[in-house]
Amino acid sequence: MNGQKKIAIIGAGVAGLAAGIYAQLHGFRTTIYEKSSVPGGACMGWTQDGLPIEGSMRFLAGTQEGTPLYDCWNEVDALRDTMFVNPDSFFTVEDSGETISFCEDLDTFCSNAEKISPEDSRLLQQFRAFVLKAQGHVLQTQKPVDLMSPLEALRVNSANGEVNKLLARLHNVPLVDFAQKFHHPALRCAFRQVLPPGSTLAYLVLCYAKFISGDIAVPVGGSRRIIKRMTDMYLKNDGELQVNAPVKEIIAANGAARGVILESGERLLTHWVISACDPAYTCRKLLQDRYAMEKKLQLRFAAPEAYPTFSLVRLFFSAPADSLPLARTLSFATDVIPAAGEGQSRLTVTQFSDDPLFVQKGRAELCADVPMPGKRAFKYWESLSVQHGAYQVEIDRLASAVQLALEKRFPEMKGQLKYLRCHTPMTYADRLNAFHGSCVAFVPTAQSRPAQLTGRLPGLSHMLLAGQWLGDTAGMHTALVQGKFAVQRLCHDERILWD
């Protein structure tokens, strides 16, 4: 027990909720302050016109029983008694009259692709060997490296041994370069489209390896159910959650964080502050630039070439379930769709009808994504948002163009599609205070370097960062693990045994 020291946690996303649960379990008294009316952050779902809508998650990492990441999800009760949907494919691409599907059976993927392009056989077999080897990879969730002894760090590193060596080598290969090696245009297109721009071959190999081994899947009920379980777990352990409670400022005095001031003016004094929202926003707005992030994290925000962020415009539709594409996620060519001042000639759509909870009265969600990577796209949407009416005009234009493209590709949907809403990079910026309106933190590129970040702010004690921005790759699982790591660092400083 630690005399019930108080912690203010800013943000009830996955990271904030995870931090809250672990801190309550270790005897702290925590309050999570969340600016929105509901917890969840980027991990969002809602009901519209009676139809459950998944707002973010396509896949969750850590769904295979017996892995350390699965255990972590269970510690925060996110997946209790949860069934999983294992879609047939990770990603499917139509191009040049062919369909390439990164399907759950690696041999089927390779043999189908070889049939389409025998001359690419050698490269496909090489890819197959990489994926098979990467299946042995285990994500480190035990504790942050900065809390490990040299021997522990060595042990953790060697647990992945040869796989780490392979991934380090493939990290230097941009996925676009690997794609370019294929003779067949459909394969070139498939390897370019499968992950956000800038991604590495290592990232694809790892994601696909996890998918085929069942460690990446879709929990039934989606994001909303995960967040509900985590929130229930937090409240059950006497955590306090305040929604509609935006934090305006972090109180800092004599080199230590002392609490938070809410937008309402309320001042709350605590022993510790964990900021589980964007670090750039935390330093700039909440700490008014008085304290900076650790150098390695600063570098990421300052070098967009090596550490690009990724966002999108996501348009949500409801459609008859029997008219939806068979693949869960499909990328196909379209007529040019004007987007962020540039033309896009492909769309990626995801459908959710393989989860029975998402089908209502024969209809299900179909969402269409138009990529909006990096600062330029964000600035485009930001400038529209300050011109009266222009933002909505652009959304309407995009929604019509996308609906036309969907009806052209799926003629059976004509007259049956119902447009529900649209999220742009501004949605994520306004709602989450996310840097450049990003959906996911930094995309791992060939120029990015893994870094052991500590979540600490030099010169400011009793303050920790948590969340997806601290990982080498983003996503809900990273937010979870970083929420846990923040509390482990806090326990370390308070000399509390972690069990």
Ligand X SMILES: Cc1cc2nc3c(=O)[nH]c(=O)nc-3n(C[C@H](O)[C@H](O)[C@H](O)COP(=O)(O)OP(=O)(O)OC[C@H]3O[C@@H](n4cnc5c(N)ncnc54)[C@H](O)[C@@H]3O)c2cc1C
Q: Residue 168 Cβ, how far from ligand X at the closest point, in Å?
A: 23
Tell me the closest approach of the beta carbon of residue 276 to ligand X, in angstroms: 5
In this structure, the dihedral spanned by the alpha carbons of residues 261, 262, 265 and 267, taken in order and rounded to 10 degrees, is: -40
Q: Which C-beta is closer to ligand X: that of 83 or that of 390?
A: 83
Tell me the three state secondary structure of residue 72: helix
Q: Is 431 exposed, middle or buried (0-12, 13-18, 19+ CB in 10 A)?
A: middle
Give the Cα separation of 186 and 95 in Å (integer).
5
Question: Is the Cβ of residue 41 or residue 371 nearer to ligand X in the bound state?
Answer: 41
Query: What residues make contact with ligand X under the rule CB under 6 A?
Result: 10-16, 33-36, 41-43, 56-61, 246-247, 276-277, 314, 428, 432-434, 439-440, 467-468, 474-477, 479
Six-digit token pair at 390?
Answer: 């222009």
The CB-of-151 to ligand X minimum distance in angstroms stands at 31
Instruction: Pull the structure tokens for residue 27.
Output: 């005897």
Distance CA 477, CA 64 (A): 13
Cα–Cα distance measured from residue 125 to residue 103, given in angstroms and rounded to the nearest whole number:
15
When the beta carbons of 217 and 324 are compared against ligand X, the nearer one is 217
Q: Say if CB 8 and CB 273 are below 8 A apart.
A: yes
| Minimum distance, C-beta of residue 254 to ligand X, in the bound complex (Å) | 23
Burial (Cβ within 10 Å: 0-12, 13-18, ≥19) of residue 283: buried
DSSP 285: I
DSSP state letters, 392-448: HHHHHHHHHHHHHHHHHH-GGGTTT-EEEEEE-HHHHHHHH--GGG-SBSPPP-TT-
Q: Which is nearer to ligand X, 57 or 446 (CB)?
A: 57
CB of residue 79 to ligand X, shortest distance in Å: 13
Q: How far is the CB of 363 from ligand X (least distance, A)?
A: 21
At closest approach, how far in Å is the CB of 104 from ligand X? 17
